[in-house]
Structure 1
Amino acid sequence: MEPRTRAALGAVAALLLLAGCTSTADGGGVDIGGVEGTPGAAGLRDPYFPKLGNGGYDVTHYALDLAYDPRSGRLDGTAMITARAAQDLSAFNLDLAGLAVDSAVVDGDPASVNRAGTELTLRPRADIGKGEVFRTTIEYSGVPRTITDADGSKEGWLRTRDGAVALGEPAGSMAWFPGNHHPSDKATYDVTLTVPQGTQAVSNGVRTSERTANGRTTSVWHSAEPMASYLATVAVGQYRTKVSATPSGLPVLTAADPSVAAKSDPLLARIPELLAWQEENFGPYPFSATGAIVERTGDAGYALETQTRPFFPLDSLTVEILVHELAHQWYGNSVTPADWKDMWLNEGFAVYAEWLYAEDFENVPAQVNFEAAFATDANWDFPPADPPSAENLFDPPVYQRGAMVLHKIRQQVGDDTFYEILAGWAAKHRHGNASTADFTAYAEEVAGEDLGEVWDVWLYGDGKPKRP
């Protein structure tokens, strides 16, 4: 995510906690499969969003079939969710905010549905055995919700002049599809989007087909690599799209609102060049497509690293932020945090990518940016690996002090070993999840030395050290 001030995420946290405070009647259900299951947990007890995500199963694939009318704002959706049970399940939960559930089916049989806040509890006709793959189909509809954080920033489903864009960090994806909305449960995606003829619809991954009939255009998007749900996006509008390829054949698709296309074109044209430079530093690009979505200034208050196709309002489309969001494709998107507490592994790495770009292309050593960050009081409000609350997940220490941690590693181990750590970390956890503890252990393993002083002072230390 683009560095920005988010003084509070309290409204989102309250929304998620509400799900655990509302009681409903048991939905019943008859066990006819010979398995005596128990309900999956209604949350994963994330330190910041304890009700976000759900226990008892692992989603492997989402197939979302969505029809959107920009004039009315109505979304009609079918979510087909393939998952594997991690325990014997008598019931399980999905996260969904606002939209009405029209029907629910598990493995071909109707399932009872109870709702409490943002939690859907589904009780299948037969209990599901541990290790079994099961398929859930939810039909839902309504006008998707825009979630407003306490600082005024917005996520979820954002209406634009001619359509909408869906942004999901940290909790907005539950505003437009039901799922297991925690970064630890990644899945592949197929998204089918139907919109009025003359309107474009864009999502993550590769567009595999597009057809127009009876006044409506339907496009199909495939994400072959696992994706955390907060990185999923759809964008609907009268975009000017461009399709090209990198020299290695990687497909590039960009979509820009016509009013900002001319201004955005020069930077978007640099995506292949910037990716080539990042591959030199971070290793092979981890996905099968790339590109960007650009909207008008004001359509959102920040850029976001939506997987393979980062999103930018025009005022956020600078070379530094483009470098930042593209770097997230390695750090955050391919290697995804195990918990929201590990957010510095996303943002600290992406900020350091900006410092490396300045070093290589603008003759500004990373040390200069380090010293500027060191001198900024806001970067010392808390340790980057230990934000005090959900309200602080996107505060300056996570970004700038996170980057300072990487610079101190570089100073201690030298450039050769440091770049080995950068690329090796992305390779070791490619398409997976990892924690801060995983990173500190890995860095010491590659360095062959104790980096405890870096962790104690820069990653976990309270207060500002006397000198850099």
Structure 2
Amino acid sequence: MILLVISSIICLQAYEIDVNTFSNYLDVQNRHLHLEWLLNMDKKYINATSSYSFQVVGRQINKISLDIYKLNIYSTYLKNGVLLPHTIDSPYADSDQGQRLNIQLDRTYYRGEYVELSIKYSIDSKSRAISFMTKEQTSTKTMPYLFSQCEDANCRALAPLQDTPAIKQTYTATIIYKDTEAKDVFMSADESKEQFKILNKPQDEATFTWKYKYFIQKVPIPSYLIAIVAGNIQKVPTSTGGRTFLVSEPDKLAAYTEELKEMEQFLLAIEQYIGPYTWGTYTLVIQPPSFPIGGMENPLLTFANPSIMTGTGSGLAVTIHEMAHSWFGNTITCVNWANMWINEGFTVFLERKASLIHYNIPDDIKLNAIIGNTSMYQDMLGYGLESNFSSLHPDTTGLNPDDSFSEIPYEKGYQFLNYLESIVGEQDFKMMLRAYLAQYKYQSIDQQEFQNFLLRYLQEQGVDDYSTKRYKILENWNRWVYSPGLPPVFVDFSTNKLTQALDYSNAYITADGKQPTNWQDYKTFLHSQKQIFLEDLFKKAENNQLKLTVVEQIDKDLKLTQENDFELKFRWFRAILTAGDKNRFMQIADFLGAVGRGKMVYPVYRALNKLDHDFAVQTFRSHETFYHPIARNNIINILGLKDSFIQ
């Protein structure tokens, strides 16, 4: 066993509890996890053993409770081989949060003692953390493919864990796979030459060769950042800097590498604002199209949907965002999902600061904030403006925290930080964020701790007019965090580029099905202006202002139905469906079968469902096996279907 450096124990009781874990993490906390996985990708099955090093932090314990979701648990036993009895129960009978695995220990353990135990289990296609893809679902169609997605509370479907962002642990892994099923495997950890003990060595067979890879993550991370990808994939550098790398299927490598050639510069721009990148290398995995989100910030192995690869670089804000998570989210983490803005709001703030440094287009930053604000407001309307899900502190007691996932922690959190920066001052706020990172490095905190640190920092630094600034910060703090609906203070992102985009959409409406004189202006628009134009068309469609004759003229002029940029295409399809257009159903169905990114397919399914429920269901039936379980379940809810059609 390798020597592990364990971070200092944090008194988690001082922070808000996590209502979305069934584990007894306030009494005992895992310090190190070792995974041994034998992959059977053709049969969509993983034979697994996980080993733990728990430390008692409460007064005493005689059992350990962990989170699981549809795992097949076979045995639990101590390091010395002594079997331990276990039971499984469900605290919420009707909840999809999973189950609780209770392990009865051999004796009472007291504060400071360690408990080292192992669990034998298996993962199958019921897992919502693992997507098993057939080779036909990949680009090269030569091997099956496997990838994980654990945020928010889905890592309990990957292994029995304390599935809460409050607990951080180091981890190691041994991955065993067939050379006929995967060319390579990567995890959110460094590749290691150290060969960890193999508990379940498979038997050799003549038709294939077993391959072994070893991984080590020396930095403590929360469970949701454990990640794996396997298949016909390759890893190449994206620059000569030696820090940034790309993983994808081999037929896409050349095009993706060309588009990502500025990845090292993105990293440098973030460092210029916030300080050094401390994780070593940075690898971006461009996943198959069924990956359900734009990007996932797994340390050392960020996952991204191929919809960000437009050929023009217009989708690379996702890359900068996921890089920025290396500071906010991965280094400092929210202590529970009610504080998700501690991850996402800070990351959007850093992303836009870095984008301004790299691209130096202030209007683009403002427009992206407006676009984000529009998406946030639509999500608020979906929950209800009085719902606590439209606040920065959603209550998900008894629910899967995925139910509260939206643009709200991203954009309302971003606006809150903009508001605080306006009070503190730009330079002082930047230095405060650097000190904040140094103070809470590799820890998990809540919003109250951030407030305490901000005020303490300003006082200790002797900033000008501290008393007035303290009053302004506290005056609206609770309204920003706890009040539902729109932010309590208006943040002005107006720009003449916004006016230009809105005037452009009005010109088409006024032309009433004819070509407006300024129709070619679209070619000179910023990408964000194009999004604003399409968002405004959607609003006009909701207000019955977008006629089908106007739709036909816009498509004739701008060829939006043939657009290769999915960020624009989904907005176009949502607008024209809302306007009642049934002439492009086949193109829309093809689109919904080509991308599985929730941000893009959910709005289109909602609009399609309102216009023609039967065709929406028919489209879903055609593509159901393509979608990731997370996306599939969300679409089922959108369409009002009780159960998946997959048996």
TM-score interval for Structure 1 and Structure 2 normalised by the shorter chain = 0.7 to 0.9
Q: 1:420 Cα deviation (Å)?
A: 0.8
3-state DSSP of counterpart to 1:164: strand
Pairing of 1:7-406 with structure 2 (within 5 A): 46-47=18-19, 49-51=20-22, 54-87=25-58, 88-108=60-80, 109-117=82-90, 118-147=99-128, 156-161=129-134, 162-197=144-179, 199=182, 200-209=184-193, 215-243=209-237, 247=241, 250=243, 252-317=244-309, 318-360=315-357, 361-365=359-363, 366-370=365-369, 377-378=377-378, 381=385, 384-389=391-396, 390=401, 393-406=404-417
Q: 1:457 Cα deviation (Å)?
A: 4.9
Pick from 439, 442, 453 the counterpart of residue 475 of structure 2. 453
Deviation per residue, 1:323-369 (Å, 9 max, x gap): 11111111111101111111001111122233223422141254554
3-state DSSP of counterpart to 2:102: strand
Q: 1:253 to 1:105 in 2, by over 3 A?
A: farther
Q: 1:440 to 1:145 in 2, by over 3 A?
A: same
Tell whether the 8 Å contact from 1:421 to 1:446 is kept in structure 2 after alignment.
yes
Q: 1:373 to 1:158 in 2, by over 3 A?
A: closer
Given residue 207 of structure 1, which amino acid in structure 2 is its aligned partner?
A: E
3-state DSSP of counterpart to 1:284: coil
Aligned to 2:536: none
Q: 1:267 to 1:440 in 2, by over 3 A?
A: farther
Deviation per residue, 1:357-382 (Å, 9 max, x gap): 34221412545544555566337646
3-state DSSP of counterpart to 1:146: coil
Alpha-carbon distance in 1 for matches of 2:114, 2:239 = 37
Q: 1:135 to 1:413 in 2, by over 3 A?
A: same
Which one has the bigger helix percentage? Answer: 2
Deviation per residue, 1:295-330 (Å, 9 max, x gap): 121243442111221111211453110111111111
Given residue 47 of structure 2, which amino acid in structure 1 is its aligned partner?
A: D
Which one has the bigger strand percentage? Answer: 1
Alpha-carbon distance in 1 for matches of 2:490, 2:344 = 24
Structure 2: runs of 5 or more not aligned: 1-15, 91-98, 135-143, 196-203, 310-314, 460-468, 492-647
Tell whether the 8 Å contact from 2:331 to 2:442 is kept in structure 1 after alignment.
yes
Q: 1:273 Cα deviation (Å)?
A: 2.0
Q: 1:203 Cα deviation (Å)?
A: 0.2
Moved more, 415-424 or 365-374: 365-374
Alpha-carbon distance in 1 for matches of 2:373, 2:236 = 41
Aligned to 2:441: 430
Pick from 440, 443, 453 the counterpart of residue 451 of structure 2. 440
CA RMSD across the alignment: 2.7
Taking only the aligned residue pairs, the percentage that are identical comes to 18
Pick from 411, 432, 445 the counterpart of residue 422 of structure 2. 411
Q: 1:453 Cα deviation (Å)?
A: 3.5
Q: TM-score, normalised by structure 2?
A: 0.59
Q: 1:53 Cα deviation (Å)?
A: 6.5
**Greater relative contact order (Cα < 8 A, sep 6+):** 1
3-state DSSP of counterpart to 2:295: coil
Tell whether the 8 Å contact from 1:206 to 1:288 is kept in structure 2 after alignment.
no
Paired positions, count: 414
Moved more, 419-428 or 386-395: 386-395
Structure 1: runs of 5 or more not aligned: 1-43, 148-155
Q: TM-score, normalised by structure 1?
A: 0.81
Tell whether the 8 Å contact from 2:338 to 2:395 is kept in structure 1 after alignment.
no
Alpha-carbon distance in 1 for matches of 2:438, 2:306 = 32
Given residue 56 of structure 1, which amino acid in structure 2 is its aligned partner?
A: D
Alpha-carbon distance in 2 for matches of 1:373, 1:326 = 19
Deviation per residue, 1:160-181 (Å, 9 max, x gap): 2322111101122111211111
Alpha-carbon distance in 2 for matches of 1:210, 1:259 = 32
Bigger Cα Rg = 2
Deviation per residue, 1:129-187 (Å, 9 max, x gap): 2211121111112415333xxxxxxxx11112322111101122111211111111100
Tell whether the 8 Å contact from 1:379 to 1:400 is kept in structure 2 after alignment.
no
Alpha-carbon distance in 1 for matches of 2:239, 2:417 = 32
Tell whether the 8 Å contact from 2:176 to 2:213 is kept in structure 1 after alignment.
yes
Given residue 330 of structure 2, which amino acid in structure 1 is its aligned partner?
A: N
Given residue 101 of structure 1, which amino acid in structure 2 is its aligned partner?
A: I
3-state DSSP of counterpart to 2:33: strand
Tell whether the 8 Å contact from 2:150 to 2:225 is kept in structure 1 after alignment.
yes
